[in-house]
Amino acid sequence: MLQDLIEGNSDFIRNEVYTIDHKALIYKTTDGQHPKAIVLSCIDSKVPVALIFDQTIGDAFVARVAGNFKNTDILGSIKYSCKVAESKLVFVLEHESCVVIKSACDHVKLKNINVYSKHSANS
């Protein structure tokens, strides 16, 4: 599972593009899904999780939240992925120069992101 993500990232870096039959994958996953991994990632638009790991429909769950931290909803999603959908890998993806982390360190206060700022100060 981890090796698949590593190899997929290598494909992405080498700019190797594969033709994928998305319609077939949608059909294949209509009755259920069992992605191999759950990836916790920041919402950063420059880090498209499926793309950078060369994954497609049905390969991985992706939980995204500003600053890439776990809260009750994210933790519930991760537990669902592992317990119900039987994902075997939890992958936490960080990226450089995260403006949300910088904002938390700078004590930026925004409605609904303040919880993160409080957690960051205690971490």
pTM across the whole model: 0.71
Higher-confidence residue of 5 and 122: namely: 5
Q: Is the pLDDT of residue 10 over 80?
A: yes
Dmax of the chain from CA atoms?
Answer: 47
CA 110 – CA 1 distance, rounded (Å): 37
The burial of 93, by beta-carbon neighbours within 10 Å (0-12 exposed, 13-18 middle, 19 or more buried), is given as middle
- Rounded to whole angstroms, the Cα distance separating 38 from 9 reads 16
Task: Place 89 in a pLDDT band, splitting at 50, 70 and 90.
Answer: very high
Pick the CATH number of 2-95 from 3.30.420.10, 3.20.20.70, 1.20.1070.10, 3.40.1050.10: 3.40.1050.10
Burial of residue 106 (CB within 10 Å: 0-12, 13-18, 19+) is exposed
Residue 19 has pLDDT above 90, yes or no: no
